[in-house]
Amino acid sequence: MKLFYKHFKPEIPMAILGIIFVGSVAFIELYQIQLMAEIIDTGIAQQDFSIIMSVGLKMVGLALLGAVIAMLGLYFPSQVSNNFALSLREDVFKKIQTFSLKNMSNFQTASLVTRLTNDINFLQRTLMMALRLLVRAPVFLFSTVIMTYMISPELSWVMLAAVAFLSVVLAYIIHQGFPRFVKLQKKVDKLNRKVQESLMNIRVIKSFVREDLEDEKFVEENTENYDAAVSANNLMVIMNPALTAAIHFATLVIVWISAYLIVDVQSIHVGDLLVFINYLRFTMFSMFMITNVLMMVSRSKASIIRVREVMTTEPDITSKDSAIVLDDNVEGALAFNDVTFRYYEGANNVLENINFEVKPGEHIGIIGSTGSGKSTLINLMVRLLDVSEGSITLDGTDIRDIELHSLRRQFGFVPQKNVLFTGTIGDNLRLGNENASEETLIRATQAASIYGFIEDKEKGFDYPIQQGGSNLSGGQRQRMCIARALVMNPKVLVLDDSTSALDAATEAQVKESLSKMYSDITIISIAQKISSVADSDRILVLDEGLIVGMGVHEELLETCLVYQEIYNSQMKKGEIE
């Protein structure tokens, strides 16, 4: 619980104030019933209107005071719970940002979204309810039991029997509730994952006319979520009839016993009966409130476990305490030394015995069939993954000895999937260099052959980008991502199949601009098409995780069988001009 206590600790003073105000309101309400009994037993019994007025005015004053205190009793717990959720959510999000690709593979995206939203929201509501009801309900419960015993020990046994009955029901509900709510959270994860997948791929679904199939799959997931929710919430259905039965049965018994005590024994008054019945209702509803809160606490255990799983997961890629922070004199020389990579111990090697060097300013092309390990090779360079064996060096220094942020700032990374964020063109271009000047933006966009598009827009770099760059074409998104990488002023530009959506003329224009305007940076290009890497200084050919060829285009056509097969295949398809 230490993980959660540190987020609650700063709010303790405010929580204590909230507890005091909530408890004060409860005592005021209990005292109001005593005053009502005084009006009946003294004012009305003696027909003394002055007593009725004075006690009545006291009740009005207490009601007004109680209203003010009640508002404060709502405000402080609400602030405490909101601040707690704010701090916890920020901490969890920061933790996720430290995860490597291997860490992320242990948590599905939809599950992480649910943990950041649903789970933390539920913990927030649970904390707020606990600060209010777990103070108010026990004050009512213990105070009413003690005060009823003081009024009449005989009648107090009736109340204790009702409390014992409801306690058994409460214990059963809590015992049965936890596994059901754990199951419910897993179903919510699955539903969120389905919604996210469908919405992200809506274009594909529509193009294949598969809306009906997706509707059927969603109905299936939604029905499973519904069944789990009904199973969990049905437990609360038991509590309402049990509470009603306990109140009505106890009221009947109390009235029957009170009739004897008032008429025959004359040990209590009519006002005492009124107080007793009201206290009974307070006691029963206190049990109901405690049940609700404990059910939320029981359900929150599932959320606590899920959030704790994220918080206790140690990133497998971090900076050493003695890590080197690079200066501005990095040249951009890379070397792979007997690099082997596998995702887990015992798994097949994705890359094996990779050896090559990249000189500063050199343009290296990497080509291979799907699944040959091209993207994995790039991920290893920027330590999104770590090598299983061997080493990678930058200017002769093992990249594991370089401070992580300092390392990644040397690379301008253009991923295979073009990712743009909601905001403006300028916001997206400055993602890796928030202080970039407009001149830097212009130079980068000119090199990426996207400046003409921006210049034609009335708002220029302030032109809005919709979520995922949906208001741009595929080629425009690719060129925007290339420009964003260049704005970082990287020493190494990594292009992961980043010109696949460009026509041949535009691709050639981008490559020419990069050669002229950024001639000093090292460029590593991954491509499916040979035409994209044919003019590289060197080309690496990967096949099933091995380097099976290395050299210039003409040399590989003569010496590398895999390269020849790719070339011949693309010649037949007309992909090479």
What does the domain layout of the chain look like in residue ranges?
A: 2-311
d(CA 238, CA 228): 17
Neighbours of 470 (CB within 10 A): 11
d(CA 354, CA 420): 32
d(CA 539, CA 536): 6
Q: Strands (DSSP E) along 202-328, which ranges?
A: none
CB 565 within 8 A of CB 559: no
Whole-Å CA distances, 350 to 206, 254, 356, 388, 389 = 35, 77, 17, 10, 12
With helix as H, strand as E and coil as C, how does 483-506 read?
HHHHHCCCCEEEEECCCCCCCHHH
d(CA 72, CA 76): 6
CB 82 within 8 A of CB 15: no
Return all residues near 121 (Cβ < 8 A) that are at least 6 apart.
85
d(CA 185, CA 477): 37
Q: For the structural domain made of 2-311, what CATH number should be given?
A: 1.20.1560.10
d(CA 571, CA 577): 8
Per-residue pLDDT of the chain (577 residues; tens, 9 = 90+): 678 888 998 999 999 998 889 888 888 887 887 777 777 777 777 777 788 888 888 888 988 998 899 899 889 999 999 999 999 999 999 998 888 777 787 777 777 888 888 889 989 998 988 888 777 777 777 777 777 777 777 777 777 777 777 778 777 777 777 778 778 777 877 887 788 778 777 767 877 777 888 888 888 888 988 888 888 777 767 766 776 777 777 777 777 777 777 766 666 667 667 777 777 777 777 777 777 777 777 778 778 888 998 898 888 888 888 888 988 888 889 999 999 998 888 788 899 999 999 999 899 999 988 888 888 898 899 888 889 999 999 999 999 999 988 998 899 888 878 888 888 999 999 988 888 898 999 999 999 889 989 988 888 899 998 887 888 888 888 889 999 999 988 899 998 887 776 777 887 888 888 888 888 889 998 888 888 888 889 999 998 889 999 999 999 998 899 888 888 887 765 555 5
